[in-house]
Structure 1
Amino acid sequence: MSFQTSGLHHVTAIGGDPQRNADFYLRTLGLRLVKTTVNFDDPGTYHLYYGDESGKPGSLLTFFPWKDAPSGRLGTGQATTTSFSVPERSLGWWKKHLEASGVTTGDIVSRDAEEVLTFRDPDGLVLALVAHQQGDPRDPWDTALVPGEHAIRGLHSVTMSVTREDATAGTLTEDLGLSFAEQDSNRFRFSAGEGGPGATVDVLVTPDAPRGLVAAGTVHHVAWRAPDEGTQVAWREELVDRGVGVTSILDRQYFRSIYFREPGGTLLEIATDQPGFSIDEPLLELGRALKLPPWLEPDREQIEAMLPKLDLPSENNPVRA
């Protein structure tokens, strides 16, 4: 493969009630809502982007929240765990914080050089916090509820569940340019570049698990980074030449996207790093207003009437000195 991703760009999941979703990710997890927009393919629902201060690639977890969405089913053919990176020795604080917020957590477990705390969001989406001994230099979004010394640095990794690993491994290495890093029983780890937080995917082989159903509480797709549009165009051409069923390039306003499904069933995306989230509102005001792409602006009044009211907690835009 001529092209290699530098790591995760974002993960997109299906949520339920949008207000409950925003309260959890802004207040309980301490992320920032960097963009409030709509699902471009279904503008009757929000598309909410959570990340660090500016929504840098690799920090983002996004949601399509439908208030009455049915619950999904975890299983093979999907990403079954989304993990965030936190500082070393922070998991004790996080366990107390989450439990005080009414979130049931698992035990803190050790995996080689990492400690992991697993829990679920209000819709059942499986999340994990991972503390790596080598640390994570990325800057956090610092709020009063989740101070910077413990705050999430960005995505750490995703876990994809499959019935067998060989074909999925081929996609990760040949189509995305990842490299095999290590195996721990039925868990196979692949890394972009030198690996580490934000550049890792685990492939979990569970041949007897049921097939997953993508709905509320599950991941819709996993996006990987491309540096620019030129690279993405050439990358897509190479994927087509290799026989991969890849979409045309789609304008997502804040990045450009192509999508394809790996043989195990998980929907993957390659998204550009640019232009970013500050192209239509200032950095200090990210996420405050409903932003629509130009082709949906003529329908703004109708779209706003369909969307439920969303009250953002003050923590999303604290006063900056």
Structure 2
Amino acid sequence: MDVRPSGIHHVTAIASDPQANADFYRNALGMRLVKRTVNFDAPQTYHLYYGDRAGNPGTVMTFFPWPDAPRGRRGAGQATVTSFAVPEGSLGWWARHLSALGVEADRPAERIEEDVLTLRDPDGLVIELVASAGTHDTDPWDGGAVPVEHAVRGIRSVTLTEHDADRTAEMLGGRLGFEPVAEDGPRHRFRTGAGTEGVGTLVDVVADPRAERGLVAAGTVHHVAYRAPDGPTQEAWRGALAADGVDVTEVRDRSYFTSVYFHEPGGVLLEIATDGPGFDYDEPLLRLGRALRLPPWLEPRREEIERNLPELAVPEEGA
């Protein structure tokens, strides 16, 4: 079986207050709101997408903000950390920027020869900024609160916390084509495919047999999506996973990509998402994220959906 995603497509998490969420990712992290839509399976809540200028695969963090959501619990069977790549030498600027906004961050630390700054979003989701000199084939957003020379380049990696890391490592290496590249105590690092570089190509698996089981709610990651270049490749990967006995969903239309979902052995929900058609599928690139977009099958319910969604004020930014 040759399932070799070229990297992370996006990471999706749960939030509570949509306004606090948008303010943080736009102003504190300087990301562009590239799509304002709803959860297609539960349209009473928003689905907010943040990324680089065009929301290129590998740069996108998305949220389902449920205003009354309880706080979740980070633990085993979850993606417990999302790491963003920022330019090498920029962590000092980021520390000052976050401090000025009242965002607490740990002192920079070194891990596997990388400098890392750890912080939390308004719901407690753990975010890392990793100073990276690697390849960043993205288009950093220069119309927001962070100067482009310091801007987030994309998702560097995710960290999976597992009771039994061996089973997860077996799926990553045996079924998904990842390759082990480094170890640091209980942390095992894998890279997607042979020789791939750039954003979203790393995943860390941390073994913690004593960790409490994670609870997915506000402040936790819901799923991690990996990239397929197109629909036929995605369908081939889906068939290969099913042939290996993995319980994988049918292909689901998400308007801006199509998706299949499955769980890795430790319980983390994974997705394989196509690169296209992309976020300018239903609105011009220069106006991404400025209006509520709905898929065709929900458009007849627009008035009802808009009436039930909380207000979300997002000032227009440069483009």
TM-score by length of 2: 0.97
Partner of 1:173: 173
Higher mean C-alpha displacement, 178-187 vs 4-13: 178-187
Quick check: 1:14–1:217 contact (8 Å CA) kept in 2? yes
Gapped runs of 5+ residues in structure 2? none
Deviation at 1:150, TM superposition (A): 0.4
Partner of 1:100: 100
Quick check: 2:90–2:150 contact (8 Å CA) kept in 1? yes
Whether 1:46 and 2:29 are equivalent positions in the alignment is no
SS at 2:241's partner residue?
helix
Deviation at 1:137, TM superposition (A): 4.6
Partner of 1:255: 257
Deviation at 1:168, TM superposition (A): 0.4
- Cα distance in 1 for residues equivalent to 2:144 and 2:223: 31
Partner of 1:243: 245
- Cα distance in 1 for residues equivalent to 2:52 and 2:37: 17
Partner of 1:29: 29
Higher mean C-alpha displacement, 196-205 vs 6-15: 196-205
Partner of 2:302: 300
Whether 1:224 and 2:263 are equivalent positions in the alignment is no
Partner of 2:5: 5
Quick check: 2:59–2:138 contact (8 Å CA) kept in 1? no
- Cα distance in 2 for residues equivalent to 1:279 and 1:72: 33
Deviations 1:218-276 (A, max 9, x none): 00000000000000111111111100000000000000000000111100000000110
Partner of 2:314: 312
Whether 1:186 and 2:160 are equivalent positions in the alignment is no
- Cα distance in 2 for residues equivalent to 1:176 and 1:79: 17
The residue identity in structure 2 corresponding to 1:78 is Q
Cα gap change, 1:163 to 1:119, in 2 (>3 Å): same
Whether 1:279 and 2:281 are equivalent positions in the alignment is yes
Quick check: 2:38–2:45 contact (8 Å CA) kept in 1? yes
Which residues of 2 match residues 194-233 of structure 1 at below 5 A?
Answer: 194=195, 195-233=197-235
Deviations 1:36-71 (A, max 9, x none): 000011000000000000000000000000111100
SS at 2:128's partner residue?
strand
Partner of 2:142: 142
- Cα distance in 1 for residues equivalent to 2:171 and 2:118: 27
Deviation at 1:113, TM superposition (A): 3.1
Whether 1:265 and 2:274 are equivalent positions in the alignment is no
The residue identity in structure 2 corresponding to 1:166 is D
Deviations 1:192-238 (A, max 9, x none): 13345320000011111100000000000000000000001111111
Cα gap change, 1:214 to 1:96, in 2 (>3 Å): same
SS at 1:158's partner residue?
strand
TM-score by length of 1: 0.96
Higher mean C-alpha displacement, 193-202 vs 14-23: 193-202
- Cα distance in 1 for residues equivalent to 2:271 and 2:112: 29
- Cα distance in 2 for residues equivalent to 1:228 and 1:136: 21
The residue identity in structure 1 corresponding to 2:298 is L
Quick check: 1:23–1:313 contact (8 Å CA) kept in 2? no
Quick check: 1:98–1:105 contact (8 Å CA) kept in 2? yes
Partner of 1:59: 59
- Cα distance in 2 for residues equivalent to 1:249 and 1:197: 25
Partner of 1:72: 72
The residue identity in structure 2 corresponding to 1:171 is M
Quick check: 1:26–1:313 contact (8 Å CA) kept in 2? no
- Cα distance in 1 for residues equivalent to 2:178 and 2:134: 21
Quick check: 2:73–2:217 contact (8 Å CA) kept in 1? yes
Two-structure CA RMSD over aligned residues (Å) = 1.2
Quick check: 1:47–1:62 contact (8 Å CA) kept in 2? yes
The residue identity in structure 2 corresponding to 1:257 is S
- Cα distance in 1 for residues equivalent to 2:144 and 2:167: 45
Q: Taking every aligned residue pair, what percent have the same amino acid on both sides?
A: 60
The residue identity in structure 2 corresponding to 1:61 is M
Deviation at 1:178, TM superposition (A): 1.0
Partner of 1:83: 83
The residue identity in structure 2 corresponding to 1:176 is L
Number of residues of Structure 1 aligned to a counterpart in Structure 2? 317
The residue identity in structure 2 corresponding to 1:301 is E
